[in-house]
Amino acid sequence: MQEFENRVAIVTGSSEGIGFAIAKYLIERGATTFINGRNQEKLDKATRILKANSNMPVESFCGDVTVYENCLLFAGKVCQQYGKTDILVNNVGGGTEIRHLENITPADWDFTLNFNLGGAFNMIKAVTPIMREKKYGRIVNISSVAGRNKGRLSGPQYASAKAGLLGLTRHLAWDLAAEGITVNAVAPGFVRTDRAISKWNERSKEEKERMLSGVPMNRFGEPEEIAHAVAFLASEKASYITGVSLDVNGGSFMS
């Protein structure tokens, strides 16, 4: 029996990068998985790749999860097709190119908080009723080392949003624990995705050396390493774990 056989999973922001790696890992271990993104072309490509490498059902939903009505439609589609949602991974997020306080506008602040925190709140609110009904759920929020310490490639608006996601994780873990629902977070360090590498390439040689020197393992993470941590928290092996933030950062931040 595969680890996630008979489980239905949603992974937001999963047409590429960390989200794609998470979805792939869950699918390989037996989960029926819904992936999500805002770009239909990228989403269709990701769906084709995942389907070609697995016999498990792979579904998709194109929509911006920062819009609550989209999340209701997404959750409704999953419930209509499979009658439940067992696992929700909130991976949507990211920082803008603005890194310094004097350049951050109120619009950029609002966008970054909504993108990283609002979408997760919306999806949790949309799927929690069916999890409560089934007395089972695994919610994993993708935060960041920036929310645990400080941002390196993004600004304080991003660090604040990711820290807020950890607060949401802890609070809901307390509220939902008695109903069979665990809520945890994974806080990656720098991970080698296309988006992160593009930001990395814009930094000076001196800044790159300074950043790498802050990672005791002397390397950056791979998307699959984040997927492994998420899968653990979504599994039965983590049935007595809730409200935690699992740091996956090569030692760059140690709590």
Full 3-state SS string of 127-189: HHHHHHHHCCEEEEEECCHHHHCCCCCCCHHHHHHHHHHHHHHHHHHHHHHHHCEEEEEEEEC
Q: Which of 68, 82, 136, 158 is catalytic?
A: 158
Q: For position 1, what pLDDT does the model report? A: 57
Burial of 209 (0-12, 13-18, 19+ CB in 10 A): exposed
DSSP structural state of residue 62: E
Domain boundaries, the chain: 8-246
Collect all residues with Cβ–Cβ distance below 8 Å to 59 and sequence separation of at least 6. Answer: 32, 33, 34, 35, 47, 77, 78, 81
Q: For position 193, what pLDDT does the model report? A: 86
- 8-246 — its CATH code? 3.40.50.720
136 carries an active-site annotation: no
Nearest of 56, 73, 57, 76 to residue 65 by alpha carbon: 73
Q: For position 212, what pLDDT does the model report? A: 83
CA distances from 206 to 99, 200, 203, 212, 229 (A): 17, 12, 8, 10, 31
The pair phi, psi for residue 246, each rounded to 5°, is -95, 115
Q: Is the pTM of this model over 0.75?
A: yes
As averages over each run of 10 residues, the pLDDT of the chain (255 residues) reads 92 97 97 97 97 92 98 98 98 87 94 96 98 98 93 86 98 98 96 81 81 86 97 98 96 85
